[in-house]
Each structure stands twice: as C-alpha cells, then as structure tokens.
Amino acid sequence: MALKRNVLADDEKNMGIIAVYPGSFDPITNGHIDVIKRATMMFDRVCVAVARNVEKTPLFTVGERVALVRSSVRGIRKVTVDEFDGLLVRYVRRKKATVVVRGLRAVSDFEYEFQMALMNRKLDRHVETIFLMPKNDYTFLSSRLVKEIAVLGGDVSQLVPPMVEKAMHRKFAGRLRD
C-alpha cells in the first residue's frame, strides 16, 4: 500500500508524508526520543501524540506529559507535539497522516504491537504502522521502570532528559509529603 494517499486535496499535496507517533509518554524517555529522531529521518513531519486517556493511572497529567515531550524534542526539526483522545486512527486521519510509528524494543513488545497494528489497519486500511528499533542502549528502557527506579531513589539521569528527571523528583517528593 502506498504511504501517500492517491487522492489528495490541494492543501495536502505539498505536505509530504506525515507520521503520528502515539503513546502514553508517562513520562517520555531517551528511548522515545531516539525513535522520534529516527522517524524524522524518514518522514516529512512527525506528530508526537500523547494519549489523554491511558488505561493505567498515569503519574503525570496529560498537560504535564505534553509539556515534558515538548521540552524534550525542542530543537528536533519536523516534530510537533499534541494530545489526543479516542480512536487513534481517527486522530491520524484528522492530522492527514498515513503512518503510525511505534518503537519495538524486544520480542516481548511484539505481540501487543502486532495486535494493535492489525486492529488499526482493520479500522482504517489507509493507516500503515511501522516499527522502529531504538538504539541498543535503550532496548531495556521503559517509562514504567524509570518511574519505579525514581520512586526508590535510583539514578535515572542516563535514561530520561534532565527536565523529566526533575519533574519526577518533584512528583515523588510531593507524594511522600502527602
């Protein structure tokens, strides 16, 4: 399937291929940033889409997650940051995108990702999912582990941008005071 739709409205013609990189980003990690950079080498625009309603209770509000993503990707060309609610494929269509980018770290990610990609294809056959593998150093990295390490006072400075580290410290200090 062509990544570029065959029939494009006039204002879409010069936009090139737009990719959406969706996720909870609770919080964004260096692994996510690595995937974003790789995606910008392949697509004309990469829209990082922070899911408003994630199933698990997030540590950060959607506003906080968006702000942390924005400051983490400042300076990376072609990237925009947004939040979304509801079906991903609807959001992708609204953005006039044709590609969903997901990071694939290990075989353990595969089953969930495969299921989601095929379901999104079922919902909209024009949406193609591509998987990008982060740098080896980040294959073990996840937002969940980063939070677990941070709450226990471990060093996460190599795993997340400095502002994310500070935000986590503030969050956990606040929780400990409560």
Interface residue with ligand PNS among 119, 125, 137, 154 (CB under 6 A) is 119
Q: Roughly what angle, to the nearest 10 degrees, separates helices 62-73 and 30-40?
A: 60
CA nearest neighbour of 82 among 45, 118, 55, 116: 45
143 is catalytic: yes
Does the footprint of ligand PNS cover residue 51 (CB under 6 A)?
yes
* Footprint (CB under 6 A) of ligand PNS, residues 134-173: none
5 is catalytic: no
Q: What are phi and psi of 60, to 5 degrees?
A: -105, 145
Does the footprint of ligand PNS cover residue 116 (CB under 6 A)?
yes
Q: Which two tokens stand for residue 118?
A: 């095929």
Q: How far apart are the first and last CA of the chain?
A: 53
3-state DSSP call for residue 125?
coil
Dist CA 6 CA 101 (whole Å): 21
Does the footprint of ligand PNS cover residue 129 (CB under 6 A)?
no
Interface residue with ligand PNS among 3, 17, 42, 54 (CB under 6 A) is 54
56 is catalytic: yes
Measured from the CB of residue 117, what is the shortest distance to ligand PNS in angstroms? 8
x/- track of binding to ligand PNS for residues 58-97 (CB under 6 A): -----------------------------xx---------
32 is catalytic: yes
Does the footprint of ligand PNS cover residue 29 (CB under 6 A)?
no
Dist CA 109 CA 98 (whole Å): 22
Stretch that binds ligand PNS, among 9-17, 20-28, 58-66, 130-138 (CB under 6 A): 20-28
Dist CA 22 CA 13 (whole Å): 24
For residue 168, which amino acid is it? Answer: M
Report the interface residues with ligand PNS, using CB under 6 A. Answer: 22-24, 51, 54, 87-88, 116, 119-120
